[in-house]
A and B are shown apart, each in its own frame.
Chain A
Amino acid sequence: MSHLLEIDDLRIRFRAKSIVRAMIDRDRQPYIEAVCGASLKLAPAETFAIVGESGAGKTTLARAVIGLNRPHAGSIRFMGKELRGLTDKAFKPLRRDIAMMFQDPAGCLSPRMTVKSIITEPFKIHGVRVSDLKREADRLLDLVGLPPAFGRYYPYQLSGGQARRVGVARAVALSPKLIIADEPTAGLDVSVQGEVLNLMARLRQELNISFLMITHNLSVVRHTSDRMAIMYLGRFVETGPTDDIFARPRHPYTRALLSATPQPDPDMARDRVKLEGEIPSLIDRPSGCEFHPRCPLAKAACRQAPPPRHRVGPVHKLYCYYPDGAAGPRPLL
């Protein structure tokens, strides 16, 4: 199977100290690594979800795919073409095929432009000749389920769900092959959340679009993605088919995240994997397995060396010393 997007051992770092400061401190690594060694493969019309808490590096990774961050190692191949190291000019034509839906539904729409100008701007930017922009705008609005009258509206006149739809219309304007959806349902009410996700599912089927979805909402991931990765401190701690991970999560962090999702049932028995504390700082990464300070299963070995990779299925893998978790035997150390 040929892949649309292949990310291999991607590393993205940011300078944490000025050059002078680093020289004074004799610091050879004045960086924080926001993404360290993420790999994924995305097939056409597939949805891959990246899940994790704030600061895990999800958005940094997504922005690198569309060229808004520059990775310093690893590779991103889109339709067989290496994206790392491309100049801005060389990247521009690629953005016809990769579109982005940004996190803030209303904030990513220019307040001074009408909906029609917003959704037809991609044509102008990429010099695509369209004989009738008005008709094209109507077609896009229809595609996302908004009446043509919305073309005349300004963003402040839209509700959260409508603003999201306009964002989707703009993303699909140039018929991209890949859409990066950064928190597509954040800030939306539950009744509207379904509408946006259904719209994305329909477009994926009708237009054969792949989605790279970033979210911290696990209930959404279960229904919308084929495969998923759980990210912690810039690494994928567990990746695999969504159904497998929901049926049997292996990594203690995955289990904790899954059990932290409150269920709308007052009498449900709540057998939680409780996590103490918060995500550590990227500047001061824990030793060994980086999850050990919060891990309920952590033993001495976890503090010493990075955990090994385990394969539990053809595409399901995780990094942990105790991949069978509490259910399996617990080696005494």
Chain B
Amino acid sequence: MHTEYPPPVKPNSLALSIQDLSINFQTVRGTLKALRQVSIDIPRKRIVGLVGESGCGKSTVINAILRLLAENARIQSGVIEFQGQDILQMTPDALRDMRGNRISVVFQDPMTALNPVLSIGRQMIDIQYREKTSRAQKTARAAAMLTRVGIPDARKRLEQYPHQFSGGMRQRIAIAMALMAKPDLLIADEPTTALDATLEIQIIDRLRKLHQDIGCSILFVSHHLGLVAEFCDEVVVMYAGETVESGNVRDIFYRAAHPYTRALLQCDPARIKEKSPVLPTIPGEIPDMVNLPDACIFAARCPIKQHGCPLTPPPAHDIQPGHQARCHLSARKDD
């Protein structure tokens, strides 16, 4: 029924490719291994969902792509390849040219993403500082972009300040600003978490439309499984600083191979159609990232763990082309 696979991805058609990225943070308690051998591929013109619970390293991945890591971060290994360059080796000038131009971001909180003391128009003109066009042309472009994200009466609204817009409108403005430069990659960090469900849908519909028009890739970071299922082409699942599973959206939602992905999907109350007084949970806590276990990172909470599971971290393993999981058991099944 759902055999509609997108064509296989050619190696040179990746918008961004993260390989083997490991990042540590120096803390008073010791070295916190926030990311370990994270690999994420974002194909051109595709929407990749990055899913995981709090503390799994989603934000660290975003900050690494933008090179906005905190001062106590140490990049241990890895490459973030973007348009033939390694972002981790870029000079400050090259970074400045990349940020907000070739890669732009929509942040979670639309209330704090905009400057409260400047009008929307001023901010939308400022962001076009790279363009060598007249102010009138920049204003016209800003107004056109506002109209495209569904804000009526754009010319007049350019004169208004962020507090004069509702939360949903502010998030649309943030999206308009992020897409003004026609970036190659848009990072959307929980863009609808602060909004109500009816607005969430409006924003997602709008993003999908703009994605089709502009043709950028999107890295959609979210913990909302329903939104990811609806909006994304590919999904990467993270747990405690590792990418435990990645694949096509149907691989993840219909044929999840990693026990964590399966447990996460089972926990979503939207999936349980019959009224149930007891909801499924994942017992236990995420491991302490300062004192990591030697074995599989999910072993302590894994419902299908077996004595035969080796006491080493499971390597990423192909379930089928384009669908990978880090699980000893799913690797063994294929042998």
Interface residues of A (CB under 8 A from B): 53-54, 159-160, 189-195, 197-198, 201, 216-220, 222-224, 242-243, 256-257, 260-267, 270, 272, 274-276, 278
Contacts and interface: CB of A to CB of B under 8 A. Distances in A.
A267 to B, nearest CB: 5
Given A264-B229, A266-B2, A266-B253, A257 B269 contact: no
B45 to A, nearest CB: 18
A219 B1 contact: no
A184 to B, nearest CB: 12
A11 B196 CA distance: 24
Contacts of B281: 191-192, 194-195, 198
Nearest to A243: B275
Contacts of B54: 160, 189
A275 B199 CA distance: 8
Interface string B142-173: 00000000000000000000000011110000
Interface in B176-197: 196-197
Contacts of A159: 285
B267 interface: yes
B310 interface: no
Interface string B246-268: 00011001100000000111011
Contacts of A197: 279
Given A53-B197, A216-B196, A220-B269, A263 B226 contact: yes
Q: For the side of the interface on B, what is the size category?
A: 35 or more
Contacts of B228: 264
B223 A189 contact: yes
Contact of B269 (A189, A194, A195, A278): A194
Contact of A223 (B166, B253, B272): B272
B280 A194 contact: yes
A266 B49 CA distance: 13
A219 B253 contact: no
B253 A265 contact: yes
A248 to B, nearest CB: 15
A270 B201 CA distance: 11
Interface string B217-240: 000000111111110000000000
Given A257-B198, A272-B201, 6 more contacts: A198-B281, A223-B272, A256-B198, A262-B227, A262-B270, A263-B229
Contact of A274 (B201, B223, B280): B201
A276 B206 CA distance: 12
A270 B270 contact: no
B9 interface: no
Q: 5 closest pairs, A vs B, by CB?
A: A262-B226, A194-B279, A191-B282, A189-B53, A194-B281
A224 B277 CA distance: 6
Contacts of A263: 226, 229-230, 270-271
Given A192-B281, A219-B270, A266 B199 contact: no
